[in-house]
Structure 1
C-alpha cells in the first residue's frame, strides 16, 4: 500500500518553539491552549511500507523516526527504512537532519536541484562535512516535468515543480531567488489514480502551481502564516510573510482564496504551520474559518493512502 506520511507539520522551531513565549507557545506549555504540539516540517513516501523517501530532513528527524516504526524495519543489524532523502529547498529546517543521518555504511542518496546543492555546499559546507562520515550521493531532481529515478518507489511518480519562494538566509541569492531554489512535488500513483501536491514553502500561486492544485486529489500547501504582518504584529520579527517566501492564508489573494475554489472532493491541508499562527488554536475564529472552507491542519502522524 502506497502511503504519504507527515512526520512533522510545523514550521521552523516547531510548536512550541524552544525560545518563544508568544501567546500560542506559552499557552501550550501552560496547558491552557486547545492545540497539539508539532515537530518541524518533514514527510515520507513509500510504495510498500518498507523503503521510504524522506522528504526534508528536519532537525528533529531522530525523534520523528523513533515515532514512526515503519522507518526502522530492523532487517539487519544496522538498518533503516530511509532509502533516500529529497530536499525541496536548502533551508536549515529541512536540511539539519542530514547531520543526524550520518552513520551509514554507504553514501545517502540525496535528490535535490543544483541550486539547493550549491547552497548546501557554499553556505553550510554540509556535503563536505558529511564526506567524513557516510557521505552523500547526489541525485538529479529534474525540473522539466520528468519523474525522479527512484526504483524503490515502484509505480509512484514524483515530479518537482519550481515555486516562487525565497532561498535560505545564508544563500547569496536571498532576495533574488532562482528557478530551482524551492520546489513543490506532484506525486502520482498510476495504479490507483491518486494524485497529491505537496508545497510547504510557497510564496505565490502562479499558473503552473494552480494547475497542480487542480490536478491533485489532495493538496498540502504552505500554512506558515495567517496574515502578511503576523510576525510584525506580535513583535517577533520585522519581516512580512512575503519577505520570507510565504503566502499567508488570509487576504484577497491569500491561500484560503485559492483553496476555496477547489472542488469539495479535494483533500485540503495546511502544513509547515508557524508557532505564531492563530489557526493552531482549535477554538480560534481563524481555525473556524479554515474548517468552514473545508481546510484542515496537517498534524504529526497524518497518513494519506495513495
Structure 2
C-alpha cells in the first residue's frame, strides 16, 4: 500500500515565531518556555513515500535547524542525505534562502517554474549550488513530474504576486502565473495540495481542490488589516499577496474552504501576529470549522 507522508518542517511565515525584532504578544509568549507556545520556524514541508527518501518543498532560511530537529532527514552515512529533491513554490526569501545552506556538494534535484528559476539564475549568489551536484529542472504549469519515486505531482498557478525584493512600485496583486504556484500530489488514489501562499480563492481553484484528502493552505493573517492593527506593519494581507482567514463570504479562506468537502485542512505559513497561534476565539473559530493549525514537527500520513 502506498503511503504519502507529510512532515511540516516549518509552519510560520517569513521571520518565524518569534520574529527576531518583534515583541508582540505571540513573539513574547514564544520566548517564554512556560507559555505553552513553542517557537516555530519558517514555512517548509517534507514529503515521502515510505520514509527513506524525502522531497523538500521550499528551502526555508531555517532549513539547517529543521533538518537537525527532524531525525528522518539526518544523513544515514558519510555525505548521504535522504533529501533527494527541493521544490520551490515562489521566490520569496523565506522560501529560497535555505538553498544557500544546502550547498555543500550534495546531490539533489532543484525543481521550480521557469519564472522562479529565472530569479535564481539572475542572482549570482545561487551559483554556490554546484551544477555538478544540483540538477535544476524547470517544470511547466500542470506538467506531471516526480519529485520522488512513487509520487506524481503537478505545479499550478495560484493568485499571488512577485517576490517582495522584485517589486518596483505597486505590484500587480492576484497575479496568476508562474510567480506563485501550488503543488498537487497524487499517490495511491489519494490527492493532496500544498498552497503556502495564495491571494484569493477563485472558482477554478476551488474546483481544483474540492474533495481533496488533504490541503495545506496559506494561513498568514487572520484578518486582512491584522498587522496594521497590531502595529507591526503598514500592509494588509492582500497587499502582501496573502488571503486572510476571515472576511466576507468570498474574501476569507475559512468560509470558502469549509464548503469544499476537503477531508483535512491545515493552515501553514502563519504570521507571528496571527491570533490562531494561541487559545482564544480566533483559534476556536478555525478548529470549529474543521481546520488544523500547522506546527513544526506535525506529521500526516495518507495511506
SS in 1 for 2:208: helix
CA RMSD of superposed structures (Å): 1.9
Q: Cα distance 1:64–1:91, how it changes in 2: closer, same or farther (>3 A)? A: same
Cα deviation, 1:79-137, whole Å, max 9, x if unaligned, reads 1011011000111101111111011254x421011111112233x43433434x86642
C-alpha contact (below 8 Å) 1:186/1:212 kept by paired residues: no
* 1:305 and 2:301 matched: yes
User: Out of 237, 241, 244, which is 1:245 matched to?
Assistant: 241
Residue 46 of structure 2 aligns with which residue? 44
Deviation at 1:148, TM superposition (A): 1.4
Structure 2 distance, partners of 1:135, 1:194, is: 32
* 1:261 and 2:263 matched: no
C-alpha contact (below 8 Å) 2:220/2:242 kept by paired residues: yes
C-alpha contact (below 8 Å) 2:218/2:267 kept by paired residues: yes
Structure 2 distance, partners of 1:211, 1:73, is: 40
Structure 2 distance, partners of 1:48, 1:293, is: 31
Residue 274 of structure 1 aligns with which residue? 271
Deviation at 1:215, TM superposition (A): 3.8
Aligned length: 295
Q: Give the TM-score normalised by structure 2.
A: 0.91
Q: Give the TM-score normalised by structure 1.
A: 0.90
* 1:220 and 2:221 matched: no
Structure 2 distance, partners of 1:257, 1:236, is: 26
C-alpha contact (below 8 Å) 1:147/1:157 kept by paired residues: yes
Unaligned runs of 5+ in 1: none
Runs of 4+ aligned residues of structure 1 deviating over 4 Å after TM superposition are: none
Structure 1 distance, partners of 2:299, 2:140, is: 26
Deviation at 1:303, TM superposition (A): 1.4
Equivalent runs, 1:173-188 vs 2, <5 Å: 175-176=171-172, 177=175, 179-188=177-186
